[in-house]
């Protein structure tokens, strides 16, 4: 159950027991935001972001806020349950090696443009940024990226081998986000409403040409994120099928986004719900909450709790910033922790410690803090992890 802070213009409902000072300041900025509706919802994986904390949910009237969606528009998850029930260490090693060979990681892109069939089937009309970046995006579709993005092969407590991928809209989403945030700042400075652009929460009016263009381009980026993950998933499943004796079939598939804004009805009003690092959790809707590369991940079903605007966490959430983790964590200790569990992990050098398990909150605690938002359907233990 959430705790409530009622000192702002609207209340804040927080599902986290500890919130870092920087994130708390951003939360209170949201509570005083002039266009925010009803209350602010903060998920248990909350940590400081840019303008709005990651793990935040804000509903607005009249405006849409680019920084409340974030720079990786359409970032999300895909998970596939396979017909496999066991996989050998040798097959895992072969699949991981091949993934690193055929799927570009980090800042890498495909050297040649991918076929148009892999791009979203949406006409690029009145989308100036998408149109400008379209050919570059054809080289980016089917690529993982860096940071907390991953490809993971997992063992489910349902007895099946799963594949899970976390990635977003790559540079396309960032270009769209940056363009419209800059545009919003320039427009907001003229209006100068307190607590908006100077708090990194610049807005665009929904009924403006600028606001409608952002919505079109944001939706395209969400679709591109789905296309990106889908292409990578096809590649991984083909590799599994090649290296494992016996045909590997897809039994089930779940796909969600956790960085987007959408028009929804809540508390009797149509509003725009911004989810920045928050997973939709409408009643009966299945979602994905990953842990770190050394801990479990979860397939969940939403309970449709209105207090969270039908949302839940999108992961474990960071407890250490990237630079903090690199400075303070012990490389040998983190590697031993992963190898003791038999996980094929992605920590090789000191700089990889930004994605070490100790850089993240306890996923079991995060799940427990939101039992009123979700039911756990499947627990997934990591077997092999690929990161950029």
pLDDT for 301-332, tens place per residue?
999 999 999 999 999 999 999 999 999 999 99
CA angle 43-44-48, nearest 5°? 75
Percent of the chain's residues with pLDDT above 90: 98
Q: Are strands 12-14 and 36-50 parallel, antiparallel or unpaired?
A: parallel
Question: What's the mean per-residue pLDDT of the chain?
Answer: 96
Q: Could you give all domains of the chain from N- to C-terminal order, each with its CATH number? A: 3-319+360-387 (3.90.1860.10)
Residue 148 has pLDDT above 90, yes or no: yes
The model carries a pTM of 0.96
**What CA–CA distance (Å, rounded) separates 306 from 123?**
34
Q: What is the pLDDT of residues 237-281, one digit of tens each?
A: 999 999 997 789 999 999 999 999 999 999 999 999 999 999 999
Please, are residues 36 and 9 in contact by the beta-carbon 8 Å criterion? yes
For the CA atoms of the chain, what is the radius of gyration?
20
Is 258 a known active-site residue? no
For residues 75-80, average pLDDT: 98
Nearest to 320 by CA among 10, 33, 18: 18
Report the pLDDT value the prediction gives residue 245, as an integer from 0 to 100. Answer: 79
Report the pLDDT value the prediction gives residue 56, as an integer from 0 to 100. Answer: 98
Report the pLDDT value the prediction gives residue 388, as an integer from 0 to 100. Answer: 83
Where are any strands of DSSP class E within the chain?
A: 3-5, 12-14, 36-50, 52-60, 63-64, 76-82, 150-156, 161-167, 204-205, 250-257, 259-266, 269-276, 278-280, 286-289, 297-302, 311-313, 374-387
Report the pLDDT value the prediction gives residue 77, as an integer from 0 to 100. Answer: 98
Residue 25 has pLDDT above 90, yes or no: yes
Tokens of 260: 């987007």
For residues 70-79, average pLDDT: 97
Q: Please report how the helices 209-243 and 89-102 are oriented relative to each other, as an axis angle in degrees rounded to 10.
A: 140
Tokens of 180: 């419209």
Of the candidates 139, 149, 274, 314, the residue annotated as catalytic is: 314
For residues 118-128, average pLDDT: 95
**What CA–CA distance (Å, rounded) separates 75 from 168?**
4
Residue 1 has pLDDT above 90, yes or no: no
Q: What is the pLDDT of residues 205-231, one digit of tens each?
A: 999 999 999 999 999 999 999 999 999
Percent of the chain's residues with pLDDT above 70: 100
Q: Sorting pLDDT into bands at 50, 70 and 90, what band is 204? A: very high
């Amino acid at each position: 159950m959430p705790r409530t802070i009622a000192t702002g213009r609207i209340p804040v409902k927080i599902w986290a027991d500890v919130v870092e000072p920087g994130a708390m300041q951003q939360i209170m900025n949201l509570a005083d935001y002039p266009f925010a509706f009803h209350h602010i919802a903060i998920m248990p994986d909350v940590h400081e972001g840019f303008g709005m904390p990651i793990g935040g949910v804000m509903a607005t009237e009249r405006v849409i806020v680019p920084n409340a969606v974030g720079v990786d528009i359409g970032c999300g998850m895909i998970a596939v349950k396979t017909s496999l029930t066991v996989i050998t260490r040798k097959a895992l090693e072969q699949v991981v090696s091949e993934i690193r060979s055929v799927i570009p990681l980090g800042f890498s892109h495909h050297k040649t443009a991918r076929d148009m069939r892999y791009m979203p089937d949406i006409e690029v009309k009145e989308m100036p940024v998408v149109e400008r970046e379209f050919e570059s995006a054809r080289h980016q579709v089917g690529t993982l990226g860096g940071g907390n993005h991953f490809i993971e092969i997992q063992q489910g407590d349902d007895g099946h081998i799963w594949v899970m991928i976390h990635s977003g809209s790559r540079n396309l989403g960032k270009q769209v986000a940056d363009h419209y945030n800059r545009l919003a700042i320039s427009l907001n400075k003229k209006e100068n409403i307190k607590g908006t652009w100077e708090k990194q929460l610049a807005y665009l009016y929904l009924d403006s040409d600028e606001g409608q263009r952002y919505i079109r381009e944001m939706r395209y980026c969400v679709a591109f994120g789905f296309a990106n993950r889908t292409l990578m998933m096809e590649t991984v499943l083909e590799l599994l099928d090649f290296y494992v004796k016996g045909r590997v079939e897809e039994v089930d598939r779940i796909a969600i986004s956790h960085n987007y804004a959408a028009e929804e009805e809540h508390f009797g009003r149509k509003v725009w719900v911004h989810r920045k690092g928050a997973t939709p959790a409408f009643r009966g809707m299945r979602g994905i909450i990953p842990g770190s590369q050394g801990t479990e991940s979860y397939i969940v079903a939403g309970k449709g709790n209105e207090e969270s605007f039908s949302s839940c966490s999108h992961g474990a959430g960071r407890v250490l910033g990237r630079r903090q983790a690199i400075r303070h964590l012990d490389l040998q200790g983190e590697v031993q922790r992963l190898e003791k569990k038999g996980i094929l992990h992605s920590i090789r050098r000191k700089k990889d410690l930004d994605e070490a398990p100790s850089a993240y909150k306890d996923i079991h605690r995060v799940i427990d803090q939101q039992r009123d938002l979700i039911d756990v359907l499947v627990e997934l233990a990591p077997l092999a992890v690929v990161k950029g």
